[in-house]
Amino acid sequence: MRNIYLLGCLAVTVMLASCGKGGQGELVGAYNKKFRNNRIPLGMVYIPPGRTLIGMSDEDITGGQTSPSKMTSFSAFFMDQTEISNAEYRQFVNWVRDSVAITMLGPGGAPQYYKPAPANAGPGAATAQRNIDWRKVGNGSALWSTKGNGLGNKLTDMYYSGADAIPGRNEVDIRRLRYAYSYVSMDLAAEGRKDPNKKRQDFIVTYTDTPDPNNPNHHPSIQVYPDTMVWKADYSYSQNDPMVKTYFNHPSYDDYPVVGVTWEQASAFCVWRTRFYESVAVARKQPLNARPEYQLPSDAQFEYAARGGNVKTKYPWGGPYVRNAKGCMQANFKVGRGNYSDDGGMYTVNVKSYFPNDYGLYNMAGNVAEWTVTAYNQSASPMLMDFNPNFTYVAKTNDSKYMKRKVVKGGSWKDIGFFLQNAVATYEYQDQARSYIGFRCISAYPGTDISYRN
C-alpha cells in the first residue's frame, strides 16, 4: 500500500508540474539560459543611463562653426577605463601573427594546434578547414621556437627575406599580419529591408585577402600592425627616430596608448575583441551574444562619458581651468605656446596618468585624441535624435575622401587646450594613422539595472 501511495503522489506531482509549465496549452515563454549579464567587463567602467547637454555651451557659440547645445538622453553602457594600450593592442597583433602562421602550416603541418575534426565529418576532414585550438597555442612561444617541437624552422615564409632582410636578423614581415572578417551592416540592412530584391549577402561587409572588385561591400583585409613611422612622418623636421623604433615594442611603453592605428584598424580590433570573448563564452556554453559586441563609442557617447555625470562642464575634470588647486596640469597637452613638458610628458604618457573623471575614466581629454564610430558631417547635427544620437556611413572603396572622415574626440598631447573641451570634435580620414590618435572601446549594457544607480 505504501508503494501505491507514493506512486500516486508522484503522479499527482507530475501532473501539477506539467500544468504549471504550460502542459495545458498555456503561454509560458521560451527563456534563454540564464547567466550574469551585468558583470562589468575587465578594464571597463559602468556609464549609467541619463541625460545631459551635448554640444558647445552658450558662451562658446560666438564665432564658432558649430551647433548649439542640445539636451540628450543616453542608455547605459560599459567603457574602457583607459585608452587601449600598446600591450593590449599587441595581444591582437600576436593573435593575428599566430593565426596566420598556423593557417599557413595547415592541419598537416601543425596538427597539435588544431581542434579534432568533428566525429560526423566526412572524407577529407583531416585537411578540411578546422578551428585553431588557442588553449594549446598559448602565448605562441612554442609555435615560434626553433627548438624541440617548435615549428619556427617551418615558418621562414613569415620573415623578411632576400633584399628585404637585414643580415643576421629574423624579423617577422608585418605585411603578412592581416585580419580578415565579415559582419552584417545594420545601416545597409535598414536601407534595404523593404527591397524584395535584396538578400542577406547584400548587407554583409567583408574584409578579405581576395576582395571582389565588383562587390562594393568587399574591402581588402586589415593590416593590423600599427604604423610606427607616424612619429617621423607627422613631423618633417623633428628628431623622433627613437619613438619610431621603440614606442610600440619597448616594455617601457607597454602601458602607453597605442597610436599609429587607423579607424579601420581600431574597428577591426573591436571585432576581434568581441569574437575573442565569444570563443570563451561558447566554451562555457553561453550564447554568442552573452555580452554585446565591443565597438568604438559614438561622438555623443564619448562626450557624455567625458562629462562624468556633470552638466555644462568644459573639461572632463569639471571647472574651467586646466590646472588644479595645487597648480598641477590635469591633462597631457600643448601648454601655452608650446611647453610640452610642463604637464609631465613630452609625448604620450601612461594611460592611467592624472586623475580620472567622476565616472572613473582616465584621459578623456589629452594624451591621445580618440577615434569614434561617428561619420564627420556637421550638417547632420540638427537631424540627430535626442536619445543615443549617432550618424554613421559605410564608406565604399571608391568613395570620395570626404565620405571617409570620422569624428575624433578628446584632444591630444600635441593639441592646445581648446581641443580638450568636452564638446570639441575634429576629424581624420578613416585610412590615416597618426602619432596622436588612439582609441578605446565600449560595450552596450543589456537591459536596465537600477542597482548600479544607488
Of 45-54, 102-111, 191-200, 429-438, the range with the highest mean pLDDT is: 429-438
**CA-wise closest residue to 256 among 85, 411, 89:** 85
Q: Do 202 and 188 contact (CB within 8 A), yes or no?
A: yes
Distances (CA, A) of 298 to 43, 133, 309, 358, 407: 19, 35, 17, 20, 9
Give the pLDDT confidence score for residue 13 in this predicted structure. Answer: 52
Q: How confident is the model at residue 98 (pLDDT cuts 50, 70, 90)?
A: very high
Q: How confident is the model at residue 451 (pLDDT cuts 50, 70, 90)?
A: low
11-20, 173-182, 273-282, 306-315, range with the lowest pLDDT = 11-20
Q: Do 294 and 270 contact (CB within 8 A), yes or no?
A: yes
Task: Show the cell assigned to 230.
Answer: 607616424
Backbone conformation region of residue 27, classed left if phi is above 0, alpha if psi is from -120 to 50, else beta: beta
Tell me the C-alpha distance between 28 and 444, whole Å. Answer: 28
Give the model confidence (pLDDT) of 143-185 as tens digits.
Answer: 998 887 678 889 989 999 999 999 988 899 999 999 999 999 9
Domain boundaries, the chain: 40-84+266-454
**What kind and span of H or E run contains 264?**
helix 263-283
% of residues, the chain, pLDDT over 70: 87
Q: How confident is the model at residue 262 (pLDDT cuts 50, 70, 90)?
A: very high
27-36, 61-70, 181-190, 431-440, range with the lowest pLDDT = 61-70
Task: State mean pLDDT over 269-294.
Answer: 84
Give the model confidence (pLDDT) of 175-222 as tens digits.
Answer: 999 999 999 999 899 989 999 999 999 999 999 999 998 898 999 999
What angle, rounded to 10 degrees, do the helices at 86-109 and 263-283 form? 60
**CATH T-level topology, domain 40-84+266-454:** paralog of FGE (formylglycine-generating enzyme) (3.90.1580)
Tell me the C-alpha distance between 265 and 218, whole Å. Answer: 16
382: Cβ contacts below 8 Å, ≥ 6 apart: 67
Give the pLDDT confidence score for residue 453 in this predicted structure. Answer: 52
User: Does 19 score more than 60 pLDDT?
Assistant: no
Question: Higher confidence at residue 393 or residue 442?
Answer: 442
Give the pLDDT confidence score for residue 274 in this predicted structure. Answer: 94
User: Does 280 score more than 70 pLDDT?
Assistant: yes
Q: How confident is the model at residue 127 (pLDDT cuts 50, 70, 90)?
A: very low
Strands 222-223 and 178-179 turn out to be antiparallel
